[in-house]
């Protein structure tokens, strides 16, 4: 970890950790007075789905954030502000997750899925802004060991994100479960290191 970006990374790690922990608050402990335990556990199926998908997404965003900062060796005010904007989106994720959990399987599930997917569209856009800013040759924020092929590989993988999540929003309008399956597929794609995605 570069000493110049160490505080940025440490602060970001803390925010990611808090956001991913808050997701579990939407899964409530069944109470004896509310009926049979098995039935109460089954009634929370939508909360389990939302929790696991969002846990995977935040975890993969953290992985990608870490990957970026293995290349970023210097920081400036612009990088700090864009990183804060990204963290703003990360801390917002538990809210659309809770909305989706509450409305999945109910009449308003389409709107809940649109809000959920829209959050990831915004996050994908901010990820692109952050990387494009950091990788700009004029700013000299990357380490000297980063080659042009690595920069291009990350750029190609990230530019796919906003378009793909917009497609998920379109799918959500037609079929909510299909849009969630597409989200899972995207999570798997962004979990792949850029060098392997490039090789494929």
Angle at 152 between CA 151 and CA 158, to 5 degrees: 90
Confidence of residue 2 (pLDDT cuts 50, 70, 90): low
User: pLDDT tens-digit profile of 66-125?
Assistant: 989 988 888 899 999 999 999 999 999 999 988 998 898 889 999 999 999 999 999 999
pLDDT in tens, 165-195: 999 999 999 999 999 999 888 888 888 876 6
Q: Which of 50, 156, 133 is nearest to 86 (CA)?
A: 133
Mean pLDDT of the chain: 88
Give me the residue label for tokens 């994100």.
Answer: 161
Q: What is the pTM assigned to this prediction?
A: 0.86
**Do the Cβ atoms of 177 and 184 come closer than 8 Å?**
no
- Which DSSP string corresponds to 14-51? HHHHHHHHHGGGGSPPP-GGGS-HHHHHHHTHHHHHHH
């Amino acid at each position: 970890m570069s000493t110049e970006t160490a505080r940025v990374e440490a602060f970001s790690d803390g925010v990611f950790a808090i956001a991913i922990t808050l997701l579990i608050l939407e899964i409530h402990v069944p109470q004896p007075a509310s009926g049979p335990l098995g039935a109460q556990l089954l009634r929370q199926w939508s909360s389990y789905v939302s929790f696991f998908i969002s846990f995977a997404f935040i975890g993969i965003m953290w992985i990608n954030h870490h990957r970026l900062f293995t290349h970023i060796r210097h920081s400036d005010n612009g990088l700090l502000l864009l990183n804060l904007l990204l963290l703003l989106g990360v801390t917002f994720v538990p809210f659309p997750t809770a909305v989706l959990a509450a409305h999945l399987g109910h009449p308003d599930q389409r709107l809940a899925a649109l809000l959920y997917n829209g959050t990831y569209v915004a996050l994908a856009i901010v990820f692109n802004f952050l990387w494009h800013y950091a990788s700009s040759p004029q700013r000299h924020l990357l380490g000297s060991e980063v080659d042009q092929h690595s920069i291009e590989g990350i750029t190609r993988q990230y530019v796919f994100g906003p378009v793909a999540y917009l497609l998920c929003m379109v799918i959500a309008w037609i079929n909510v479960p299909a849009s969630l399956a597409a989200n899972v597929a995207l999570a798997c794609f962004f979990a792949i290191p850029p060098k392997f995605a490039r090789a494929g």
